[in-house]
Structure 1
Amino acid sequence: MTTAAALPGTLSLGLSRGATELREFFRQKENLIFTVSLPAVLMLLLGTVYVREPAAAQMFAAGMIGAGIISTSFVGLGMSVVADREDGTLKRLRGTPMPFTSYFIGKIVLVFVSSLFEAVLLMAVAVLRFDVELPSGAGRWLTFAWVFTLGVVSCSLIGVALSSIAKSTRNAAGVLNLPYIVLQFLSGVFIMQSVLPESLRTVGSFFPLKWVCQGFRSVFAPDDGYAVMEAAGSWELGRIALVLGAWTIAGLLLVGRTFRWTSTSR
């Protein structure tokens, strides 16, 4: 008597899909170069113009690393899902035993790896061009790890949910880039939040980018005395974890309600 082989689990299928996504990503060398290098180029240009002091370089580097990660997870992933829907990839995957959860696990694996490459490149540019000192001590690197992970996961889910608004790749860039660009100015990437009007600070505090950048500043700041420069006068690490965790849960709920396999059905 022959026993049917059990189907792979959701996580196993997701990791397998992630490996496929990574192979495709690294084969597209032009896309790889521009995706990973764009935040580093922006850091070079903006840092050369605006950064004049070592402490400012530390804080600027932290903000740029946060913005780069959000660009990959929110904008890049959202556009990737729209492209998969438009070219029929999602429609073909729907006919396989792979659940949509595994598809998203695969996408997040891609974003996690590409964001890590991007962060390493940004730190290398910060060290070589702006003499930024990397954090010392396991505690700061642990903070970097959990802020990085929560930031990638939460913003990936939000990007996927928002991608349902875009009907094609032609308008996906506008749908995803507009909120991202605005939030960079409200979240302490280019301008410290403490100098913004209270109304703009309030708006920025509702979204993950502000908290990701603040978490990274706590890692790269020369010492804890720089926490007073934040709007609340402290790093608020506990609140950072709560906000990013809440956005992760909200993202899961939004994806479950908005995800569509095709442009006409859910």
Structure 2
Amino acid sequence: MSTQTSTTAAGPARGARPTRVGDGAGGRPSRLAVGITRIGHEVRGYFRTPDAVFFTFLFPLIMLGIFTAAFSSSGDIQAGPGSEGISVGAYYLPGLLAAGMLLSGVQNLAIDIAMEKSDGTLKRLGGTPLSPVSYFLGKIGQVFVTGVLQAALLLLAAATVFGIALPTEPEKWLTFAWVFVLGVGTSALLGIALSAVPRSGKSAAAVVIPILLVLQFISGVYLQFYVLPEWMQNVASLFPLKWMAQGMRAVFLPEDFAVLEQNEVWDLGWVAVALLLWLVIGLVASKLTFRWIRRDA
């Protein structure tokens, strides 16, 4: 007994595996550590897929260039007589930033996960010790990384190529930060939940893209929100993209443009409430609908 006691006091028994920082029970890496590791894997896989990069990463930048070139001769947009005028590109920039978050999260993940279910990738992962939590963290982390890169590229092009003036007030960028974080997180979770809808990977794009295209048209991305009929604005208010675009307009448009919103104010409090509500809905729906394999497989 004395020998055993002295061995324990001196250190771990011979051959025992030392516990590493971040290890879980039994010396295995924690779910968080595995999830962080998977972020790099997911980001590399994303940029190796040309169609995903084009339709979710570069698409908002291309649309900003088209809007700026097509409507550059139509003059500035004004909120009313005597108000500060802004270029067409400056007006559409906030909506395209919001659309980029939606595409990176909802469209990218919904189609990507549906394809992984269809080709058997999820079934193989389900046979490993990988936790769904770690899998979610990898996917959500990938959306945040690509979303940040996409927004930075769009803002850089707006300022240097299209001559759009960006805000200089710190409080504006603070608003941008929390709208961006809530918008990207909500979009990622809704993308995971929506991936359960397509019956196969081949049908995923046909199911997901039309839904998002309609939302972009009624939420102030491709059409000026204030010219839409009231009933369409009310429908758009039921979905997160409208609030993401409104939050971004509060950051990048002059203050007098607030009168063009549905309630004639930026309503940033309601922007936060709406996005938090959809974040919870996306989290619950993801937990309830996610399966390594389809139930009807």
Pairwise TM-score range, normalised by the shorter structure: over 0.9
1:11 to 13, 21, 32: 32
Change (3 A) 1:27 1:149: same
2:196 is aligned with 1:164: yes
2:274 is aligned with 1:253: no
Q: Distance in 2 between matches of 1:139 and 1:196?
A: 30
Q: Distance in 2 between matches of 1:246 and 1:40?
A: 29
Q: What percentage of aligned pairs have identical amino acids?
A: 38
Larger Rg: 2
- Deviation of 1:247 after TM superposition, in Å, equals 0.4
Q: Distance in 1 between matches of 2:99 and 2:45?
A: 24
Structure with greater contact order relative to length (CA < 8 Å, sep ≥ 6): 1
Q: How does 1:193-212 map to 2 (within 5 A)?
A: 193-212=225-244
Deviations 1:4-29 (A, max 9, x none): 84222222221111121122223446
Q: Is the 8 A contact 1:159 1:176 kept in 2?
A: no
Q: Which residue of the partner structure matches residue 239 of structure 1?
A: 270
Deviations 1:153-173 (A, max 9, x none): 111111111111101122111
Structure 1 counterpart of 2:281, which letter? A
Q: Distance in 2 between matches of 1:35 and 1:70?
A: 9
Q: TM-score, normalised by structure 2?
A: 0.83
Q: How does 1:136-151 map to 2 (within 5 A)?
A: 136-151=168-183
Deviations 1:169-206 (A, max 9, x none): 22111211111111111111122322222211111001
Q: TM-score, normalised by structure 1?
A: 0.92
| Count of residue pairs the alignment pairs up | 265
The runs of at least 4 aligned residues of structure 1 exceeding 6 Å deviation read none
1:98 to 119, 130, 141: 130
Q: Is the 8 A contact 1:192 1:230 kept in 2?
A: no
Change (3 A) 1:71 1:55: same
2:60 is aligned with 1:39: yes
More helix by share: 1
Change (3 A) 1:177 1:239: same
Q: Distance in 2 between matches of 1:34 and 1:190?
A: 16
- Deviation of 1:259 after TM superposition, in Å, equals 1.0
1:189 to 205, 221, 228: 221
Change (3 A) 1:253 1:84: same
**Which sits farther off after the overlay, 128-137 or 80-89?**
128-137
Q: Secondary structure at the match of 1:130?
A: coil
- Deviation of 1:129 after TM superposition, in Å, equals 3.8
Q: Which residue of the partner structure matches residue 140 of structure 2?
A: 108
1:83 to 88, 94, 115: 115
Change (3 A) 1:28 1:193: closer
Structure 2 counterpart of 1:101, which letter? V
- Deviation of 1:41 after TM superposition, in Å, equals 1.1
Q: Which residue of the partner structure matches residue 259 of structure 2?
A: 228
Q: Distance in 1 between matches of 2:103 and 2:188?
A: 10
- Deviation of 1:217 after TM superposition, in Å, equals 0.8
2:244 is aligned with 1:218: no
- Deviation of 1:127 after TM superposition, in Å, equals 2.1
Q: Secondary structure at the match of 2:28?
A: coil
Gaps of 5+ in 1: none
Q: How does 1:43-82 map to 2 (within 5 A)?
A: 43-51=64-72, 52-53=75-76, 54-82=86-114
- Deviation of 1:88 after TM superposition, in Å, equals 1.5
Change (3 A) 1:252 1:34: closer
Gaps of 5+ in 2: 1-12, 18-24, 77-85
